[in-house]
Amino acid sequence: MLKIGVLGAARIVPWALMEPAARRDDVQVVSIAARRAGAAKAFAERYGIAGVHVHYDEVLADPSVDLIYNALPPYLHAELSIKALEAGKDVLCEKPFAMNAVEARRMNEAAARAGRRIIEAFHDRHHPVFLHLLDRAKSGQIGKIKMLHGVFNHTIPRDPTEFRRIPAMGGGALMDLGCYPVHWCRSLLGEEPEVVEATAAIDPAGYDEEMRATLAFPSGVNARIECVMSPGWQYHARFTIEGERGTLVAENSLLPQLGHSIRETIDGVLHRYAIGGGTTFDHQLAAVVGALKDGTPLPTEGADPIGNMTTIDAIYARAGVRR
User: For residue 117, what is the domain's CATH number?
Assistant: 3.40.50.720
pLDDT at 37 over 80: no
Percent of the chain predicted with pLDDT > 70: 100
Question: In terms of DSSP H, where are the helices of 32-156?
Answer: 39-47, 56-60, 77-86, 101-114, 128-139
Q: pTM for the full model?
A: 0.97
- Has residue 251 got a pLDDT over 90? yes
- Please tell me the distance from the alpha carbon of residue 321 to that of residue 314, in angstroms, as a whole number: 10
Residues 110 and 144 in one domain: no
In this predicted structure, the answer to whether residue 264 has a pLDDT above a threshold of 80 is yes
Give the residue from 174, 116, 188, 117 showing the smallest Cα distance to 146: 188
pLDDT value for 36: 84
Residues 55 and 158 in one domain: no
Per-residue pLDDT reduced to its tens digit, 148-174:
999 999 999 998 889 999 999 999 999
**Domain assignment of residue 61, given as a range:** 2-121
> What integer pLDDT is reported at residue 38 of this predicted model?
87
Residues 115 and 134 in one domain: no
Instruction: Give the CA-trace dihedral at 318, 95, 122, 89, to 10 degrees.
Output: 130
Last residue of a domain, one of 121, 152, 183: 121
> What CATH code is carried by the domain that includes residue 200?
3.30.360.10
- Tell me: do 260 and 239 sit in the same domain: yes
Q: Are residues 133 and 94 in the same domain?
A: no
> Which of 121, 143, 158 delimits the end of a domain?
121
The pLDDT of residue 287 is above 90? yes
With cut-offs at 50, 70 and 90, classify the pLDDT of residue 206. Answer: very high
Length of the chain: 323
Q: What is the pLDDT of residues 39-66, one digit of tens each?
A: 899 999 999 999 999 899 999 999 999 9
Q: Last residue of some domain: 121, 154, 173?
A: 121
**Both 168 and 91 in a single domain?**
no
Do residues 201 and 297 both lie within one domain? yes
In this structure, the answer to whether residues 183 and 238 fall within a common structural domain is yes
- Model confidence pLDDT, tens digit, residues 69-127: 999 999 999 999 999 999 999 999 999 999 999 999 999 999 999 999 999 999 999 99
Same domain, 148 and 254: yes
pLDDT digits (tens, 9 = 90+) for 12-23: 999 999 999 999
Total domain count for the chain? 2
Judge if 117 and 144 occupy the same domain: no
Residue 211 DSSP label? E
Same-domain check for residues 62 and 182? no
Residues 32 and 59: beta-carbon distance below 8 Å: yes
Shared domain for 109 and 219, answered yes or no, is no
Residue 160: per-residue pLDDT: 86
Model confidence over 222-235: pLDDT tens digits? 999 999 999 887 89
Number of CB atoms found within 10 A of residue 11's CB = 9
- CA 247 to CA 264: how far, in whole Å? 6
Say whether the peptide bond before residue 96 is cis (omega within 30 degrees of 0). Answer: yes
